[in-house]
Amino acid sequence: MTVRAARSRPERIIIGLSGGVDSAVAAHRLLEQGHQVEALFMKNWEEDDDPHGGYCAAAEDLADARAVAERLGIRLHTVNFATEYWDRVFEHFLAEYRALRTPNPDILCNREIKFAAFLEHALDLGAEAIATGHYARVEHGASGHRLCLCADANKDQTYFLHLLDQHQLAHTRFPLHDLSKPEVRAIARRLGLANAAKKDSTGICFIGERRFGEFLARYVDRTPGPIETPEGQVLGEHHGLAYYTIGQRQGLGIGGIAGGDEAPWFVAAKDQEHNRLIVVQGKHHPLLMAGSLHAQPPHWIAGEPPAAAPFDCLARLRHRQPLQRCTVETLGPEGCRVRFAAPQRAVTPGQSIVFYQGEACLGGAVVEHAAP
């Protein structure tokens, strides 16, 4: 397949300008390439009635986006996708936590908002393509479009983009695919952008600076219960199984056992039937390790799997995890079974397993449960 990372002819492109340094430099690079560039700021969360307000920092981000657009001399559009975000992302986020799973809303936000609602809106405005400041690469070829790893392995964001499809990739440009984060900041400083040193956003926008449990308690019931060892020894009380995730160490509020091992404790399982949180000592305790897992039916970026099962590929279970060798053993309407060459730690229901071959991201699936 003949591929190229960017279109050769000038296009009318609308870039999602978030107020951060990545999208700002991405916009500059599109201008350097000769494209007709406009920008769009998306508001995806309505401020609540909390007396402190502003957790999502939308007003500050919009001000930064306006400053960047003015500095670069491009038009800035604004749009409110809060309703779409609530219906397509946040409701799913809550349903997963109520089911005692740990979802990743950024993955769904990319599919439903940043590369669906935004793309549709941009095309309606007359754009030929959209762009973002994500660290990823798209190869466009006669036989399709491939999502590929970027040059900076530490920043690569293909894990969060694996639910994109051929239509979305056909209209998507990632101008930062060949840059590292220090290079991006250096460009921003050279351009005199006010956000050149702006801290990267972390976590989930709608939670912001609040404690996660404090936010979640507004929507998900708390039902306290015992924290126990696998042998049934009670060590403390949890605040509701939904508020913990597999592999979690912080926030358990338990100490060691008199005369026992002083190794730290980690969440190993949730016993929903008896409302028990099961914890173990040691980061690599056998109950935290799994050789295989079951996942939901995968989404394949190409529209179909790379081969009939079983087939070998690479995978990661979390952002920045080194790629792991695995075999997709079964594929079917009930989901897939994946076996790893080496045991994996803290396989978490609700999180995603994302598949790769070479530099290409193939797609991924939501994890159902681990197998020992």
Q: Which residues are catalytic?
A: 109, 205
Residue 181's contacts (CB-CB under 8 Å, 6 or more residues apart) are 135, 152, 154, 155
19 is in an annotated binding site: yes
Of the candidates 190, 109, 112, 192, the one whose C-alpha atom is nearest the C-alpha of residue 157 is 109
Query: What token pair was written down for 22?
Result: 């990545």
23 is in an annotated binding site: yes
Residue 322 preceded by cis peptide, ω within 30: no
Query: What token pair was written down for 93?
Result: 């986020």
Of the candidates 167, 173, 169, 129, the one whose C-alpha atom is nearest the C-alpha of residue 146 is 169
54 is in an annotated binding site: no
73 is in an annotated binding site: no
Query: What token pair was written down for 251?
Result: 């926030």
Query: What token pair was written down for 232?
Result: 């049934």
352 is in an annotated binding site: no
d(Cα 68, Cα 305) in Å, to the nearest integer?
41
17 is in an annotated binding site: yes
18 is in an annotated binding site: yes
d(Cα 287, Cα 278) in Å, to the nearest integer?
10
Of the candidates 68, 82, 64, the one whose C-alpha atom is nearest the C-alpha of residue 37 is 68
Instruction: Give how far the C-alpha of residue 264 lies from the chain's centroid of Cα atoms, to the nearest Å.
Output: 28
178 is in an annotated binding site: no
Polymer length of the chain: 372
Binding site members for ATP = 16-23, 42, 133
